Structure 1
Amino acid sequence: MDELIINQHMIQIDPICGMPVDTEKAQFKAEIRGSSYYFCNEEHKRSFLESPRIAYFSMEAGLRSEMPTYSGGLGVLAGDTIRSGADLKIPLVAVTLLSRKGYLKQKITDSGDQLEYPEDWDPSRFLRPLPETVNVRIEGNEVKIKSWIYDYQSPTGGLVPVLFLDTNLPENSRDDREITSFLYGGDNRYRLKQEIVLGIGGVRMLEALNFKIRKYHMNEGHSSLLTLELLKRNGMDADRTRDLCIFTTHTPVAAAFDKFSYADVQKLLGEEFPPENIKKYAGVDNLNATYLALNLSKYVNGVTNAHMEYSRKLFPGYHLRGITNGVHPCRWTCEFFRELFDRYVPGWANEPELLVRVDEVSHEEIWNAHLKAKKALLDHIAEKTGFIMDINVLTLGFARRATAYKRAAMLFSDLERLKEINRTGKLQLVFAGKAHPKDDAGKRVIKEIYNYMTGLRGEIEAVYLENYDLDLAARMVSGVDVWLNTPLPPMEASGTSGMKAACNGAINFSILDGWWIEGCIEGVNGWAIGPYPMVPIGENERRRIEIKDLYNKMEYLIIPKFYHDRDGWREMMRSSISKTAYYFNSHRMMRRYITEAYL
């Protein structure tokens, strides 16, 4: 928790109301879960200790770059959910895995080959270990789980405890100690073990730590085994279990759902959770984690309106809602724009809808804030790679998980055309993103981009930055002029990086998929690439139209506006904030969850 020293007295923040409390004079104090909490009055103390909470389960959670417990958008969303939960004083507790060896540390060779290494980190630098342990039976072994706690406290005072589950205990076998080592590592059986620890172990840990839980919110299907534990606790009453559960699905393709053979389920879970009971809810052929969550949750939602509609076709007979994702406004706004917003739009950080008033900020001030952020990015690139980029050149950014459907190399589809466009107005390109160690197609995309970059050297400067993380993401979304996104529809269920760019006045240039279908006002806050996803055309024809649109808009709209209509460009930057960032934020998202799912 945040601590201040005023007149030699230690000041802490009341986690219920946000008021400062002098720890030496405080009458109301609670010692719990390895820390001391201070309150203005007895009622706040009682509320903190006894009020039921929403348990938010996620396989990954991105809270700090130094804590590599996330791989991409799902974990970053979880981190922003936690931040907004604290800002809005929502009674949340989050549960995730410790991932002692991280996701991967990336090294890219000169020829563009990705090499992966463990990203070991020391949890004791950031987290408090808790003495309580729980057991889960896996493959006949009693696996002991402990947890570490991270108190995320907002400047508003709200506090969300985050539990990181850990099996690296001397009582466990060597194999069982490794269950919480690698995020998304190992084979299918390893993943099933992780999901047992997260779902079943997570419910048991919350009970052991005396959290009173009102609802269980599953962020994707990885934690859906918690429903089995709740079924067992509720005498196999499915209706009572459903009343407790909320499920947010992020995956628009059935092939991507977690599936486990019942042979592995029987072997790993044993008789405590007989397969015949699981098959009623998770499917007959395999344990389908998504269907398990769907069948045992009363509230189910997709993460954009388009994803909701697509999911209703994917899951006929299920009632799905849509809550469009958002990003934490203050976390993803760089310091230069934060200073500007603080001056002109006081209160924006906790009421980001106030950013509609950013029209009061002059073009010049917006441009100057952007130039400072751009310089910070280009300085970082020079430091890390030795490449010197020009602050006056139109800079495009593309950074996200490196996997085939993101189509990161689309920009290079016609090199001669790209060179021709560059002659009408200079371009420079900044790429970043990691491929999963087993995603050979994703690794090939990185290698392709390296080859294209080499072929363009001397004409179009381009860099691929290693080890894309929260801090690098923040530098990129604030420092580029245009944020590019080219996913294959309808694979981008939501996407959030473009929302982060909008917080900093960067302009989106994206395929109409995920959130951008809702956000794009053509020529006002950005540009669309290609047709709407629902237009009934073949994939090859769609790609042909997308590539033509991509190049034409760069040559005839984007470059001329950047170089020859600076006032028009700055007005689009201002609109990117006032017509995008004001709405696509996690505060609005969490208010929807409160009113529709949590109450």
Structure 2
Amino acid sequence: MTDFKNYTVPYPPAQEFSNRVAYFSMEFAIHQPLKIYSGGLGFLSGSHLRSAYELKQNLIGIGILWKYGYYDQGRNQDQTLKAEWYEKTYSFLEDTGIKYQITIHDNPVWVKAWYLPPTTFNSAPLFLLSTDLPENDYLSQTITHRLYDSDSAAKVAQFILLGIGGARLLDELNFNPEVYHLNEAHGVSAVFHLMRKFGSKEEVKKRLVFTTHTPEEAGNEKHDIYLCEKLGYFNGYSLDEVRWLTGMEGNLFNHSLAAFRFARKANGVSKLHGEVSREMWSKYSDIPEITSITNSQNYTYWADKQLYHFMRTDDKPGFEDRKHYLKKRAFEIVADQTGKLLDPNVLTIVWARRFAGYKRADLITRDLARFERLISHPDHPVQVIWAGKPYPSDYGAISTFNQLVHLSKKYPNVAVCVDYELTLSKRLKQAADVWLNTPRVPREASGTSGMTAAMNGAVNFSTFDGWICEFADHGKNSFIVPTADYNNMSIIDQDQFDLDNLMNVLENEIVPTYYENPSKWDDIVEQGMKDVLENFESNRMATEYYEIMYKE
């Protein structure tokens, strides 16, 4: 039996990773059955925990057990998106027997801790908090119902649970981490618990590190400071004390700014994002140096091992046969969902990730005549698949998704899939010949979907943003949309410029190479597979966190 009163990781930590670390994240994509994630942040934290386990790091995850997950992505009668919420139950989580109270809105709220053992899905130990208990009133139970609840008060309550509740759990476990790592600022309320525990901001700062994940305004959340106080976010500290501790001015509490000001070290998630973050936060005082550790993904979980075997043994027929099989298998899923049976011998473009306005899922369709010529070429046909979850209250992104659904009905070789979670993500990466990525530069902090696409024999085709800037060698391991001086362009001009250049590269380079020079295409695929493994595998990332962020 696990001793949860004096908890230690259930394996001897490697000497170079012996510092105890608590890793706070709002979401973790550990494995398909555990639906407590929405997108990139969860995929990243899931790979981090998998690599921490492989490397035997002394690290545990702290998250929330979302009763209804993010949402289930179904369809209305006309195939458009329908957000649905179903209760999830998990027999593989272990009851720690730990229950304690925290205060939210002057109300004692019971918190229960569940445990995902490392051997269940080969990840570092993960503790998940729930308020969905009979001891709580209904409103308190709903705190852990929906990931990223759209109600502001509910969201602040969730932040209190992750931060203060997570820090309290560590006391209950007697784990006493040397490092508290905030993966995004959702858990920064922990500092107000740690202030009472350690007595001063200086003592908290010695132990806290912060990873910022987005240059997007919406991703750096702010809430009414009086609402935060009313809900108990500041753990009994007065607003005057909070303003003095955080340097916060005005009536909005900026969670990211508070995290920066309590952290001894901070990092962005790609070299470019590090630069963007340093510029973005340079107008604020009392900010630590913002370094960068580029996000990465876990080879063991994501990569198709047979493709790598055939590549390493230079077995071209074996490689091609395996990729053909992977495409055919994935197309069965597409056909099951949409009625479109795609052809594994045809160049397949996949755009699949979280739907958000700046990611421009529909960019390739905005010149419809040119799009139709691309997909209906008699000698060099192309087929296209989209998938991804918009935030359920992001009506602009939902509208884009639905427009693509309606567009796809016109063509037998265009499909839009739903239920984009870990399993479908992996299958569509295996289906892709071209993994299309179209964010507006420089708004993608890192992006990691292209890493796992490359691990499954897909070629990245992307605007020059995020991690791609460290990876891409155009025509050698990927293809890049030519860039311009976007600072002097309107959004309309930038989108038109990117669309024209994207289509030029597709028509003049990608499609001809795939059909007319297959040996060169194979070289590009294999170079991408090698390069992604060398620099964008999460064991490298998890090691760098210990070497750069966690050491004194």
Q: TM-score range by the shorter chain?
A: over 0.9
Whether 1:558 and 2:510 are equivalent positions in the alignment is yes
Change (3 A) 1:284 1:451: same
- Pick aligned residue for 2:243 from 270, 279, 300: 279
How far apart are residue 108 of structure 1 and its match?
Answer: 2.4
Please report how far the alpha carbon of residue 277 of structure 1 lies from its aligned counterpart in structure 2 after TM superposition.
2.0
Per-residue deviation at 1:454? 2.6
Indicate yes or no: 2:370 matched with 1:405. Answer: no
> In the alignment, what sits opposite 2:214?
251
Letter in 2 for 1:448: Q
Distance 1:66 1:222 in 2: 24
Mapping 1:220-299, distance limit 5 Å: 220-235=184-199, 237-269=200-232, 272-280=236-244, 281=246, 283-285=248-250, 286-299=252-265
- Distance (whole Å) between structure 2 residues aligned to residue 495 and residue 31 of structure 1: 37
Identify which of 301, 312, 319 aligns with 1:331.
Answer: 301
Offset of 1:540 from its aligned partner? 2.8
SS of the equivalent of 1:63 reads coil
Distance 1:132 1:371 in 2: 50
Relative to structure 1, is the Cα distance of residues 442 and 93 closer, same or farther in structure 2, using a 3 angstrom cutoff? same
Q: Is the 8 A contact 2:9 2:60 kept in 1?
A: no
- Secondary structure of 1:163's aligned partner: strand
Match 1:428 to one of 347, 362, 383: 383
Q: Return 531-540 or 274-283, whichever deviates more.
A: 531-540
Distance 2:429 2:235 in 1: 50
CA distance in 2, matches of 1:161, 1:580: 27
Pick closer, same or farther for the CA change 1:107–1:303 going to 2, 3 Å. Answer: same
Pair 1:92-2:47 in alignment: no
- Offset, 1:113: 3.0
Residues 1:76 and 2:29 are matched in the alignment = no
Structure 1 residues 35 and 473, CA gap change in structure 2 (3 angstroms): farther
TM-score using structure 2 length: 0.93
Secondary structure of 1:172 counterpart: coil
Aligned to 1:353: none
In structure 1, what is the equivalent of residue 324 of structure 2?
371
- 2:119 aligned with 1:119, yes or no? no
User: In structure 1, the residue corresponding to 2:97 is in which secondary structure?
Assistant: strand
- 1:137 matched to 2:103? The reply is yes
Separation (CA, whole Å) in 1 of partners of 2:295 and 2:221: 22
The 1-side partners of 2:135 and 2:483 are apart by 57
Q: Which runs of 5+ in 2 are unaligned?
A: none
What's the offset of the Cα at 1:533? 6.8
Give the residue type in structure 1 aligned to 2:154: Y
CA distance in 1, matches of 2:314, 2:34: 36
Matched-pair contact (CA < 8 Å) for 1:366–1:574? no
Task: Determine the structure 2 residue equivalent to 1:419.
Answer: 372
State the partner residue of 1:32: 3
Distance in 2, Cα, partners of 1:35 & 1:140? 30
- Give the structure 2 partner of residue 12 of structure 1: none
Taking the aligned partners of 2:312 and 2:512, their CA distance within structure 1 comes to 23
What is aligned with 1:520? 472
Pair 231,242 (structure 1): closer, same or farther in 2 beyond 3 Å: same
Report the residue type matching 2:449 in the other structure. S
TM-superposed CA distance for 1:271, in Å, is 6.6
Note the C-alpha offset of 1:492. 0.8
C-alpha distance 406-115 of structure 1, shift in aligned 2 (>3 A):
same
**Which residue is 1:183 aligned to?**
147
Relative to its length, the structure with more strand (as a share) is 1
CA separation in 2, counterparts of 1:183 and 1:38?
A: 27
CA distance in 1, matches of 2:535, 2:238: 46
> Are the structure 2 counterparts of residues 81 and 527 from structure 1 closer, same or farther at C-alpha, using a change threshold of 3 Å?
same
Structure 1: distance between partners of 2:335 and 2:141: 41
**What residue in structure 2 maps to residue 167 of structure 1?**
131
Q: For residues 35 and 591 of structure 1, what CA distance do their matches in structure 2 show? A: 26
Cα displacement (A) at 1:360: 5.1
2: CA distance, partners of 1:538 / 1:555:
26
| Structure 1 pair 210–520 and aligned structure 2 pair: CA distance change class (3 A) | same
Q: 1:333–1:478: 8 Å Cα contact kept in structure 2?
A: no
Number of residues of Structure 1 aligned to a counterpart in Structure 2: 540
**2:97, 2:148 → 1: CA distance?**
27
CA distance in 1 between partners of 2:362 and 2:88 (Å): 33
Relative to the length of structure 1, the TM-score reads: 0.86
Which of 432, 453, 468 pairs up with 1:480?
432
Mapped partners of 2:13, 2:525: distance in 1 = 47
Distance 1:481 1:95 in 2: 37
1:111 Cα deviation after fit: 3.8
- CA contact 1:265–1:275 (8 Å) conserved in 2: no
Q: Which of 274, 289, 313 matches 2:279?
A: 313
In 2 relative to 1, CA 556–293 (structure 1 residues): closer, same or farther, beyond 3 Å? Answer: same
Moved more, 516-525 or 420-429: 420-429
Distance 2:493 2:13 in 1: 62
When structure 1 is superposed on structure 2, of 383-392 and 503-512 the one drifting more is: 383-392
1:109 maps to 2:109: no
Do the aligned partners of residues 159 and 550 (structure 1) sit closer, same or farther apart at CA in structure 2, a change above 3 Å counting?
closer
Structure 1 position 193 matched with structure 2 position 157: yes
Once the 2 structures are TM-superposed, how far is the Cα of residue 405 of structure 1 from its aligned partner?
Answer: 1.2
Matched, 1:492 2:444: yes
SS at the partner of 1:178?
helix
Q: Deviations over 1:320-344 (max 9, x none)?
A: 001100001111113xxx1354x57
* Structure 1 residue 166: Cα displacement: 0.4
Contact 1:127 1:150 in 2 (8 A): yes
Aligned to 1:148: 114
SS at match of 1:272: coil
2:359 is the counterpart of 1:392 = no
Which digits, 9 at most, give the CA deviation of each residue in 1:194-235, with x for residues without a partner?
A: 010100010101110221211000010101111111112121
Q: Following TM superposition, by how much is the alpha carbon of 1:382 offset from its aligned partner in structure 2, in angstroms?
A: 2.2
Q: Give the root-mean-square deviation of aligned CA atoms.
A: 2.4
Using the alignment, how far apart are the partners of 2:325 and 2:437 within structure 1?
Answer: 24
Unaligned runs of at least 5 residues, structure 1 = 1-29, 345-357
Deviation at 1:114, TM superposition (A): 1.8
- Residue 239 of structure 1 and its aligned partner are, at CA, apart by 1.6
CA deviation vs aligned residue, 1:433-484 (integer Å, no higher than 9, x gap): 11112110111111111232234x15xx111111100000010112211100
Does 1:530 pair with 2:482? yes
Which of 534, 537, 542 is residue 585 of structure 1 equivalent to?
A: 537
C-alpha change, 1:113 and 1:592, in structure 2 (3 Å) is same
Cα offset, 1:33, TM superposition: 3.5
CA distance in 1, matches of 2:437, 2:30: 24
